[in-house]
Amino acid sequence: MSITTEKFEEIKTKYGHMSSWALWKDKDEQGKEKSNMGDTSIFETSVDSLNPNVVFVGLNISKKIIEPFGNFHPNYSTAHDYKIRYAVKDTLFQGAYMTDIIKDFEEKISGNVIKYINQNKEFLKENIKSFEEELEFIGSNEPILIAFGNDCYKILNNHLKDKYKLFKVSHYSSHVTKEQLKDQLIQICELLNSK
């Protein structure tokens, strides 16, 4: 299921500062691994290939998102998001929606995020609620959720496992290779196709 241009613009206005889509421009002619990662102009011409029924979920942002739909599309060389570009290419996950379970919480160290939400249960509850409101707003229909890493997966599993199909892949900033990440997504594809 794709989305309309009008819905795309509504999502961009409401969630563009915290979300994105699993679609990237190809690497540059030199084949540099992290090239073109921050170029979000591809969404403007590819609205019909965006899919709100598959949702990649991260824990939180590591730094403020300036560019609309800039989450998971960094233009700095230390980021590992390029592994996702490789992993989703030519799979049913290409064009999936991408967001975080914890909103507007800038922190590079996931342990600090977990510590904070463990001490602030109401904050976590509010974020779970806003995440579900986001899914509804973007038009997700029985979405498949794919969590990046253990921390995000644990939150989703503890609070939403009875509502959605939920899977976990390694966090792209971990020691996983881009090939290993793609293999994990292919395994999920196979599981979904066998049901």
pLDDT at 78 over 80: no
- For the stretch 6-59, pLDDT in tens is 999 999 999 999 999 999 988 888 878 888 888 888 888 888 889 999 999 999
* Domain region containing 88: 5-194
Cα of first residue to Cα of last residue in the chain, in angstroms, is 19
Q: Domain with 43 in it: what CATH number?
A: 3.40.470
As a whole number of angstroms, the distance between CA 186 and CA 124 comes to: 31
Mind spelling out the 3-state secondary structure of the chain? CCCCHHHHHHHHHHHCCCCEECCCCCCCCCCCCCCCCCCHHHHHHCHHHCEEEEEEEECCCCCCCCCCCCCCCCCCCCCCCHHHHHHHCCCCCCCEEEEECCCCCCCCCHHHHHHHHHHCHHHHHHHHHHHHHHHHHHCCCCCEEEEEHHHHHHHHHHHHCCCCEEEEECCCCCCCCHHHHHHHHHHHHHHHHHC
pTM to 2 decimal places:
0.94
pLDDT at 1 over 80: no
Q: Is the separation of the CB atoms in 80 and 172 below 8 Å?
A: yes
- For the stretch 128-175, pLDDT in tens is 999 999 999 999 999 999 999 999 999 999 999 999 999 999 999 999
Number of compact structural domains in the chain: 1
As a whole number of angstroms, the distance between CA 114 and CA 151 comes to: 7
Give me the pLDDT at residue 168, please.
98
Q: Which residue's structure tokens are 């540099």?
A: 32
